[in-house]
Structures are given as C-alpha cells and as structure tokens.
Amino acid sequence: MFDSLLPFLYIILSCYLLKYACDTFEQAAGYLGRNFPPGIKGATVNAIGSSMPEMCVVIACLFWFDDPSLVMVALGVTAGSAIFNGCVIPALSIIMAKDEKGKAVEHIELNKKVLLRDVFWVLTAEIALIIFLGFNSFTLWMAVALNAIYCLYAVHLYFDAKNHVGDDEDEYEYEEIEDKGIIANIFYFNFNAIFFSNRTFTLTSALVVLTLAIAVISGASHILVEGVLGSAAVLGVPQFFAGLVFGAAASSVPDLMLSVKDAQKGEYEDAVANPLASNTFDTTVAFALPLLAWFLINGVDSLPLVQDANLTILRWSIVGVTAAVAASLLFNYKKVTKKVAYFLLALFATWAASMYYVIQ
C-alpha cells in the first residue's frame, strides 16, 4: 500500500520544495532584475529561474537515470507545462491582479509591442520543436538550432532594454521574507535570513541566494522524476502521460507563484511575460541544452524518437493553444478583463478533456 502511495508523496514533496524555493528565487531575482524595463525581468531572470524544474527533469533523465529513452518523460513535462503556463497562469494573474495600492482591479492593460515580441518567439520555438520531433531521430544540429532560437530571442531582449527610457523605471524596494527563526527558515529556504541576517541584497548575497534556490529546485526536479516514473507504474499509464499530467503541474509551480506575485504588485507585463518567455525557454534551452551536452559527452549525433499519432496530435495542440492564448491577449491588450481569464481557463479544461480521450 505504502509503495503505491510513495510516488505521489514524491510529487507532493516536489511541489512543496518548488513553492518555497520559488519564493526565495523571486526575492533574489527581484534585486538582480531591479533595473530591467517592464517585461524584460519576467522574460529573462524570472523565466529562466522558474524553468529550472523542466530543465533539471531533462538533466535527471539523461544523466542521473542515464536513460535517453526517458527524454519522452521530459517532453511530456515540457508539453503539459507549456499549456499550463499559457492558459492557467495568465488567467490567474488577471483574476488576482491588484493595483499599486493593493486593491483588486477589474482589468489589466498590456504593452502590445512586448506582447507581440514574446508571442512571436514562443510560437517560433514551439513550431521548431514540433517540426524536429516529427523526424525519426532528434539530432545534434536540431539541439543547436533550438538553442540558437533562444539566443536570438535574448538579442531581441537586449535591444529592447537598450532602447528603454530609464526615467520610467520604478525605484527598487527590497522584498523581505519574514524571519521565522533558524528552524523555520531552513524549512522555508529563507537563505537571506540564514546567511545574511535578512539584510538588503548586495550583488554577492543575491547571487548566493539565487544559486541556493536553483539548487533546491534542481533537487526537487529529481524527486519529481522519481514520482512521475513511479506514478506511471502504479497507474499503468505511459511514462510520457504521467509526465504530461503530474510532472507538468508540479514543475509549473514556480511560474505560477512568480506571475501571481507580479500581478498582485501591479507588474502586469512581467506577470504575462514570465509564462510566455518561460515557454520559449522550456522548448529551446531547457529541452535542447541538456541534450546537446549529452550528445557531445557521449560522442553521438542523434537520439531515436518513437513516433505515435496521438503524440503528434498533442504536439500540435501546444501550438494551437498558444496561438489561441496569443489572439485572446492581443485583441484585448488595452483592456484584458476577467472574461478573457475565464476563456483561458475554459480553453485549458477543453484541452485537458481532449487529451484524456486521446490517452484512452
């Protein structure tokens, strides 16, 4: 009985670890991205850090478990996370958004230029990945191409930041996590309180806290893979689909927490930019960089892929859902209301129900 429950306890534990490591990461990321223009922090520091679970899942499958066939589990996590990030996170960010005074708002306004930028790159990344996965093998050069897409995205962000007018920047305010004593601080991963007495960040302390937070996220991701593999065996479902459901939900916790916090602070552009940019990172660097390293270390140039009609439907559904999310936000960018949020939640529910029948 306990053996049957253990995989699900692993998944719950990974959610706990990711949640509180995310709080600490967001605290340090806020300092490191304090001078970034609207949308840039969410698309870089937040997105990369909150995508560590997906990246670490790929690393665990390839290097810790030393089983390249488990890359399909990582793909399931990436696919499910992309849908969750695209639908649920923006929806909850809209619903829970507040103004600078902490009062709930009925709608939010987005920057069309920033939104177009992020939508273009996430669709480019997803379409490239889907096309590559349609071949019988995933090659070294495909991994290089996906990483190159994110590099081009980073260049785009650089020029956006360079053209930003500095006078519009908000003054940085240190976001303190409550010091609850040494024992509680350890359990809540409040590293700034443990090592730096909860003082305002310096570059060194922020990098230390950020590194420790990512280390916890990495460990939690390994536990998550154990839980996904175990849950697949217990439920008698393919490992890919266990990753799609359980792995994706748990790995999306950092994105969800960061975006909701940004929305509640009135930083709407970062709240929406984070999940979109996170999807771009997930489908390029998080998936392809560990594969590229694995290719080079093992001296091989390709990895066989198992083709399946249902998996093909799932892959293209990611692009379709992302396009629908993009359209709903772009057509309403001046006034994104809760109706848009409810549409996104309904879209996610419809996709989930459709995938249930596909699985059957």
Q: Check pLDDT > 60 for residue 42.
A: no
- Say whether pLDDT at 197 is over 80: yes
**Given the structure tokens 């379409």, which residue do they identify?**
127
For residue 212, is pLDDT > 90? Answer: yes
Q: Which two tokens stand for residue 31?
A: 């300092």
Are 62 and 295 in contact, with CB atoms under 8 Å apart? no
Percent of the chain with pLDDT over 70: 91
Q: How confident is the model at residue 345 (pLDDT cuts 50, 70, 90)?
A: very high
pLDDT of res. 175? 65
Report the pLDDT averaged over residues 303-314. Answer: 76
pLDDT of residue 284: 92
Judged against a pLDDT cut of 60, whether residue 169 lies above it is answered with no
- Rounded to an integer, what distance in angstroms lies between the CA atom of residue 246 and that of residue 251? 9
- Residue 60: DSSP 8-state: I
Which domains does the chain possess?
Answer: 2-165+198-359 (1.20.1420.30)
String of DSSP letters for 32-50? HTTTPPTTHHIIIIIHHHH
Mean pLDDT of 350-357: 79
Helices marked H in 104-190 — which ranges? 112-133, 140-162, 182-187
- Residue type (1 letter), 58: V
Indicate whether 173 pLDDT > 70. no
**pLDDT for 167:** 45
Q: How far is the C-alpha of 216 from the C-alpha of 189, rounded, in Å?
A: 8
**Residue whose entry in the numeric block shows the structure tokens 């399909």:** 72
Q: What is the pLDDT of residues 121-142, one digit of tens each?
A: 999 999 999 899 888 899 999 9
Give yes or no for a contact between 205 and 192, defined as CB atoms under 8 angstroms apart: yes
Task: Considering only residues 72 and 302, tell me which one the structure prediction assigns the higher pLDDT.
Answer: 302
Q: How do 137-139 and 107-108 pair as beta strands?
A: unpaired
What is the per-residue pLDDT for 43? 62
Average pLDDT of the chain, as a whole number: 84
Mean pLDDT of 153-179: 69
User: What digits encode the pLDDT tens for the residues 261-290?
Assistant: 888 888 887 788 778 888 898 889 889 999
